[in-house]
Amino acid sequence: MFEWRNRLLRLFGAQIGAHVHIYSSAKIYMPWNLVVGDWSAIGEWALIYNLGKVVIGSKTTVSHKAHLCAGTHDYEKPDLPLIRKGIEIGDQVWICADAFLGPGVTIGEGAVVGARAVVVRDVESWTIVAGNPGRKIRTRVLRET
């Protein structure tokens, strides 16, 4: 049913690449603010709260229960106006289970955001981050298979 779901999301303005797997329990608030590259996946119960634009690169995995939050409020104003800050995720990235990405974050190509990590600042390419707040724990090195 992936292709059927992709077509439905496209009808509502999402830009979905080829061979994308978006699971049925994933929640996408505003399809018109979603861009997903080829061969990527959004896992079970992932929450894409895309008040701002969320761009997910190619060959990228957003694992189950990950939360991508592209909206916040200006707490310095009494009426708490909405702020829409997009999220950009590069190619070949893995956002692990239960991770949280805050508004305005950019995740560089090839990065890994560990399970349950909380990321509120940009992550450099080919970096592995973990924890709360997310901190670099090592550099990702690819091996030949």
Burial class (CB in 10 A: 0-12, 13-18, 19+), 35: middle
Q: Distance between CA 120 and CA 85 in Å, rounded?
A: 12
Half-sphere exposure of 95 (CA within 13 A, CB side): 36
At 54-101, the pLDDT tens digits run 999 999 999 999 999 999 999 999 999 999 999 999 999 999 999 999
- At residue 61, the pLDDT reads 98
At 17-64, the pLDDT tens digits run 999 999 999 999 999 999 999 999 999 999 999 999 999 999 999 999
- 7 in a domain, yes or no? yes
pLDDT tier at 144 (50, 70, 90 boundaries)? confident
Determine if the peptide bond prior to 103 is cis (ω within 30°): no
At 107-124, the pLDDT tens digits run 999 999 999 999 999 999
pLDDT beyond 90 at 133: yes
**Token pair belonging to 75:** 């707490």
- 145 in a domain, yes or no? no
- 24 in a domain, yes or no? yes
Domain coverage including residue 104:
2-139
Provide the CATH number for the domain around residue 115: 2.160.10.10
* C-alpha angle 17-20-24 in degrees, rounded to nearest 5: 130
Neighbours of 82 (CB within 10 A): 11
What does pTM read for this prediction? 0.95
DSSP codes of every residue in 102-122: -TT-EE-TT-EE-TT-EE-S-
- 16 in a domain, yes or no? yes
- 66 in a domain, yes or no? yes
Contacts of 31 (CB under 8 A, 6+ apart): 9, 12, 13, 14
Burial class (CB in 10 A: 0-12, 13-18, 19+), 22: buried
- 52 in a domain, yes or no? yes
- 54 in a domain, yes or no? yes
- 144 in a domain, yes or no? no
What's the number of domains the chain is made of?
Answer: 1
